[in-house]
Amino acid sequence: MRRISLTGPESSGKSTLARQLAAHYGTVFVPEYARQYLEENGPGYTLADLEAIAHGQLAAEDAAASQATGLLVCDTDLLVIKIWAENAFGTCPGWVLEELARPRYALTLLLAPDLPWTPDPLREHPDPAQRWHFYELYRQELAQRNWPFVEINGLPEQRLTQAVAAVATLPGKL
């Protein structure tokens, strides 16, 4: 079982591409647990909420792994929690950092915020400069952690083509 994660700033097309990739490979994808959590609990959040979201995301990944066929597509990862927590609260829970130090994904797709902003009551950063700032934070984190990653950008149909090409570089047959 190989896991891939999609990461990047808000409104960069992660959920759409995760669904497309899962359909392309005939497998399941793990939705972003944060959305479900915030819809159930309201848009205000604390650091403890982010920890609950992180636990929920990992549990959802583990539960979906038994249903996946060779590839598990994860709509987000704990890198999102790290950057979110540090931006909102100036710190990240130690256990999240420990989890990030463990190899979990065969590949991470970093999605550029070059798509138009889609308003959503759960999104916080519509300013293009701020979205690119977050993108750079993700890119730096991925490089520093030496995670295998590919940057994805362009129109939605180009993104799927780029993502499929990136997944094709993984060793073994899917």
Q: Residues 94-126: pLDDT tens digits?
A: 999 999 999 899 999 999 999 775 656 555 666
Q: Are strands 149-152 and 107-111 parallel, antiparallel or unpaired?
A: parallel
> What is the mean predicted confidence (pLDDT) over 85-95?
97
**Dihedral sign from CA coordinates of 143, 114, 61, 165:** negative
Which pLDDT score is estimated for 128?
72
2-168: which CATH number, 3.40.30.10, 3.40.47.10, 3.40.50.300, 3.40.50.2300?
3.40.50.300
| pTM of the full structure | 0.93
63 contacts: CB under 8 Å, gap ≥ 6:
none
Whether the pLDDT of residue 80 is over 70: the answer is yes
